[in-house]
Amino acid sequence: MKPVKVGLLGLGTVGGGTATVLSRNAEEIARRAGRGIVIDYAAALDTSHATRLGLTRTRLSNNALDVVEDPEIEIIVELIGGYTIARDVVMKAIQSGKHVVTANKALIALHGNEIFAAAQANNVIVAFEAAVAGGIPIIKSLREGLAANHIEWLAGIINGTGNFILSEMREKNRAFDDVLAEAQTLGYAEADPTFDVEGIDAAHKLTILSSIAFGIPLQFEHTYVEGISRVTREDVANAAELGYRIKHLGIARRTGHGIEQRVHPTLVPSQRLMAHVNGVMNAVVVKGDAVGPTLYYGAGAGAEPTASAVVADIVDVVRAMTADPNNRVPHLAFQPSRLADTPILPIDAVETAFYLRMRANDRPGVLADITRILGDRGISIESLIQKDPELVDQDVDIIMLTQRVREGNMNEAVRAIEALDSICGRVTRIRVESLG
């Protein structure tokens, strides 16, 4: 049987890793797929790396459309990134009857509904395992391995840059800006780190996971996003004193009123496995009604970990190319006609516990005023620490953990506390999740 001819778009980190893995493990991959798989055509703005990557027999172009329009290419592997040119070439490939493999989380999160509808209309597959958590097979696990389950919730560390920063802050008592600069030097963070540290990258990934878990259309625009740039060394130390660690989590939960879909810094109990995922590693916990909690852990980025997922998708596509399109695994786990219109809840309607840190005048009655404001809104205090001032008449830090409360009520309480003349500046708050 003739090998399947693949068109590779992009020869950067992941593209190079994909070429390397396909070449090095060619025999093993062919045994699994039932046919050989070759990169017959590749496109990149700079093709000078092709020889180093072993693509000596691969046709090369600087124009991605040359590859997409070539009649011999059966599978397009899109590793360009972004969501402008990438969207155009993916839609062109689908309309040309070619299957697509992509690692592009932004493309899927923002344009996936349109892309999957076009793929269904043209009887082709769009595979995207590498779009979330690098080499961890979380999409396949959710879509296939947990198909018997009613998924209740999932929570994940799905951005390695943010996790590296928080890990370094905790382990070495370093400031956010200092660790971010090191992450950029090490290549973990881009020159413009906004997507990583402000949670946008994680929100793209959470949007995809939530859609597959709950059978809803992709809705990135309704994902609540909050980054880690305001987390301080003091917050990290206070969390440890209270028995928690701060992690940047993506959380999706099914409730009786809708779906929670949120990315934000989170206090996690230190005894949870998730609290011990450090450095640039990723992890996702999924809670199903039948299986209970399951944990998926591994490298969330890097050339070969991500290439592992890309090549696995290529193998899956090759296996399914001759299958009846009606018997293929649906892109979002549920049949397209059975996707639910369950709403995504606004953040004000979400219930969580909270960590609060505020700076107050050290005088009688201040704590009573704060507890009265919280009590009037039905907010119970679980733990409280008042730091001793270093000097007489100096302001003090008050740290609290609350029990679970609706976010809208907490917003009202924080505004009222900040309005007290005894409170200096803003109240810091970080959500708390037990992950139990």
Indicate if 172 and 294 belong to the same structural domain. yes
Instruction: Give domain status of residue 357, yes or no.
Output: yes
Residue 416 lies in a domain: yes
Residue 265's DSSP bridge partners are 248
Q: Give the model's pLDDT for residue 392.
A: 60
Q: Domain limits at 374?
A: 348-432
Q: What is the CATH number of the domain that holds 295?
A: 3.30.360.10
DSSP classification of residue 12? S
How many domains are contained in the chain? 3
In this structure, the answer to whether residues 142 and 281 fall within a common structural domain is yes
Same structural domain, 129 and 146 = no
Looking at residue 25, its pLDDT comes to: 97
The pLDDT value given to residue 358: 97
Give the per-residue pLDDT at 1.
Answer: 84
Reported as a single tens digit per residue, the pLDDT across 155-204 is 999 999 999 999 999 999 999 999 999 999 998 998 999 999 999 999 99
* DSSP E strand boundaries for 108-189: 126-127, 151-157
* Residue (of 136, 188, 182, 125) closest to 158 by Cα position: 136
Instruction: Indicate if 283 and 315 belong to the same structural domain.
Output: no
Q: Residue 363: what pLDDT?
A: 87
281 and 396 in a single domain? The answer is: no
Q: Is 386 within the bounds of a domain?
A: yes
Domain match, 200 and 231 both: yes
Q: Within a domain: residue 251?
A: yes
Same domain flag for 218 and 253: yes
Question: In this structure, is residue 379 part of a structural domain?
Answer: yes
**Residue 234 forms part of a structural domain:** yes
The pTM (predicted TM-score) of the whole model is: 0.96
Catalogue the E-assigned strands of 116-243: 126-127, 151-157, 224-225
For residue 343, is it within any domain?
no
pLDDT-flagged residues of the chain (< 70): 390-393
In single-letter form, the type of residue at position 325 comes to P
Query: 222 with 102, same domain?
Result: no
Please state, in angstroms and rounded to a whole number, the distance separating the CA atoms of residues 161 and 158. 9
Domain assignment present for 281: yes
Instruction: Specify the pLDDT at position 393.
Output: 65
Distance CA 381, CA 398 (A): 12
Active site residues per annotation? 205
Q: Are residues 9 and 62 in the same domain?
A: yes
- Exposure b/e, 158-169, CB count within 10 A at least 16 = b: bbbbbbbbbbbb
What digits encode the pLDDT tens for the residues 97-132?
999 999 999 999 999 999 999 999 999 999 999 999
* Contact indicator for 7, 43 with CB cutoff of 8 Å: yes
